[in-house]
Amino acid sequence: MWEPDIMLNLDCTPAPQTSAGNQKKKPRWFKRKGQFSERKVVNGTPKTQQGPRQTQHGGPPPRRPGSTEKMSLVKTTPPSSSEVNLTPSASNRSRPSPITSGTKGTTVCPSAGSSHRPAAVVIPSGNPSKILAIDCEMVGTGPKGSISQLARCSLVSYSGDVVYDKYIKPAAPVTDYRSRWSGIRPRDLANATPYAEARKEILNLLGGKLVIGHAIHNDFRVLSYSHPASLTRDTSRFPPLNRKAGLDEKQVASLKRLTKAIFNREIQTGKRGHSSVEDARATMALYKVVEEQWETEMASKSKPESPGLKVTVCR
């Protein structure tokens, strides 16, 4: 006879007694009389601690079927200094204070716009009292006059006024006056200012100034002087100036050629040689032609004092 395969689950465990003399089995969450399990979050990890919580009848509150009641009481403590968010709010941001950099004549100042904008590095330009053009005339000393020595130096202002113009007597005997080019003759150096004294006067005038020159490295060499590159402008090596003269950008053109091409004016004429005052004025005139473009390019190439700084030229 076929019988169905039936499985019966017979639980022979006797039911719990409910008489007054017996107690029901305590729930798992119950720890001690009048106590309950409490969850506390410490450093992001839930932990369990004991704490009293009772109902009116002395026992724990009933839990509704299917509910997800949270039995946690998180103690709020003030954050430590390391946990405080130090990012300033938009209303709390303040303007940066001016900072003076180590380079003379260069200042870091707050920008005029929003506080999010970087500060600006200001390079003095266009101030007549801060710009000088220089030109030096040399004579030769040593064997066959092969060593160049300073014999005259002229400095002119932004407007072309003469600031300094003196004949200078070299420390070594002159063996070649180079009069055809320098315009220097023996009588000019008879009562000239000694080199050491003249050099001190010139360097005092150049300090902190924007100095313009044509092949200016030659002028600085005879002065045994090095001027900051950010405050030096050489009109013999600025391509836009050559373009205005219709010359090749890479060509090192003479001062005489540039002056003729741009201003249609002749300089360094005659047999008396060059005049350092005339050459310094011509150099300053060439600089003014491309001043705005030159200073803008110099500002963009300058290295900022700190990340996020922008270099601008204030006039």
Q: Which two tokens stand for residue 49?
A: 């601690």
Query: Distances from the Cα of 53 to the Cαs of 29, 48, 57, 200, 270, in angstroms?
Result: 13, 14, 11, 91, 113
In DSSP terms, which residues pair with 207 in a beta bridge? none
Say if residues 209 and 216 touch (Cβ distance below 8 Å).
no
More confident residue, 281 or 20: 281
Q: Residue 59 pLDDT > 80, yes or no?
A: no
In DSSP terms, which residues pair with 101 in a beta bridge? none
From the number of C-beta atoms within 10 Å of its C-beta (0-12, 13-18, 19+), residue 99 rates as middle
Query: Distances from the Cα of 166 to the Cαs of 58, 72, 192, in angstroms?
Result: 110, 92, 7
3-state secondary structure of 166: strand
Say if residues 254 and 275 touch (Cβ distance below 8 Å).
no
In DSSP terms, which residues pair with 212 in a beta bridge? 133, 233
Question: Phi, psi (5° rounding) for residue 194?
Answer: -55, 150
Confidence band (pLDDT; 50, 70, 90) for 45? Answer: low
> Pseudo-torsion of CA 210, 212, 218, 220, nearest 10°?
-20
Q: Residue 82 pLDDT > 50, yes or no?
A: no
Residues recorded for the chain: 315
Q: Residue 226 pLDDT > 70, yes or no?
A: yes
Strands 147-157 and 232-234: unpaired
Say if residues 140 and 175 touch (Cβ distance below 8 Å).
yes
pTM: 0.58
Confidence band (pLDDT; 50, 70, 90) for 104? Answer: very low
Q: Which two tokens stand for residue 262?
A: 């741009």
Confidence band (pLDDT; 50, 70, 90) for 22? Answer: low
pLDDT in tens, 122-151: 445 557 789 999 999 999 999 999 999 999
Number of other CB atoms surrounding residue 246 within 10 Å: 8
Whether the CA torsion 72, 77, 83, 89 is positive or negative: it is positive
DSSP summary character for residue 145: G
From the number of C-beta atoms within 10 Å of its C-beta (0-12, 13-18, 19+), residue 130 rates as middle
Q: Residue 205 pLDDT > 50, yes or no?
A: yes
pLDDT in tens, 229-286: 999 999 999 999 999 999 998 889 999 999 999 999 999 987 778 899 999 999 999 9
Of the segments 53-67, 97-111, 199-213, which one has the largest average pLDDT value? 199-213
In DSSP terms, which residues pair with 168 in a beta bridge? 193
Closest CA to 283 of 153, 124, 190, 157: 157
